[in-house]
Amino acid sequence: MEYRFKPQGVCSQEMMVDIEEGVIRNAKIIGGCAGNTVGLTNLLIGMTVQEAIKRLKGIPCGLRKTSCPDQMAQGLEEIEKKINA
């Protein structure tokens, strides 16, 4: 199932992930630094949601307390809450 969310405090404007049975099957980030966002989404494919959250949560970007990876982790946490509710 595809999920979409709007990240906060970063350059990217929208994040999308397709999750099947707890595994990220596809991911896309609109906006942000192209090389970083494409690299991030390519690395996420095939990873479990839990592993992605564990690896990405809390990563800052420069002086910002958040980053595109951190926002992806936060979005995945919200998706997990909806799935498990």
The arithmetic mean of pLDDT across residues 35-55, rounded, is 97
Nearest to 25 by CA among 8, 2, 9, 4: 2
Helix (H) or strand (E) holding 55: helix 49-56
The arithmetic mean of pLDDT across residues 21-27, rounded, is 97
Collect all residues with Cβ–Cβ distance below 8 Å to 47 and sequence separation of at least 6.
23, 24, 55
Domain count, the chain: 1
Please tell me the predicted confidence (pLDDT) of residue 85: 85
- Domain hosting 57: range is 2-84
Per-residue pLDDT of 49-85, as tens digits, reads 999 999 999 999 999 999 999 999 999 999 999 888 8
Supply the CATH number for residue 34's domain: 3.90.1010.10
Question: Encoding tokens for residue 9?
Answer: 């405090």
